[in-house]
Structure 1
């Protein structure tokens, strides 16, 4: 795999809790967290967009 250009999320304020995203050459996205940089998740842009929209709309909020 070629080197990825990791970008830190603009919402990550503390160095110990940063989320990084990189675009891979195959059209997928890679996501990692600063505490576990060797653990990398991959997803598609559409799937990540759906997750972010759901979180913002509180679709995934805990129900009591």
Structure 2
């Protein structure tokens, strides 16, 4: 996949701390990367995997 052509977006809830992730949604996949290391690695997930993760977050499944 040609990552320079992927459109990344940062959460509107990120604030100004710089401790954020960015998400891109090219066809058939959801990609996530660290906004502080834009040249670093990106993780990729299927749409179903990402939806499950988001559902878990909303349900409080990842609270520290």
TM-score range, shorter chain: 0.7 to 0.9
Mapped contact 1:15–1:34 kept (Cα < 8 A): no
**Following superposition, which runs of at least 4 residues in structure 1 exceed 3 angstroms of deviation?**
none
Shift in Å, 1:6: 0.6
Q: Which runs of 5+ in 1 are unaligned?
A: none
Equivalent residue number for residue 60 of structure 1: 62
Structure having the higher Rg: 1
Structure ranking higher in strand proportion: 1
When the two structures are superposed, what TM-score results if normalisation uses the length of structure 2?
0.74
Q: How many residue pairs end up in the alignment?
A: 61
Which residue number in structure 2 is paired with residue 14 of structure 1? Answer: 16
Distance 1:59 1:18 in 2: 19
TM-score normalised to structure 1 length: 0.74
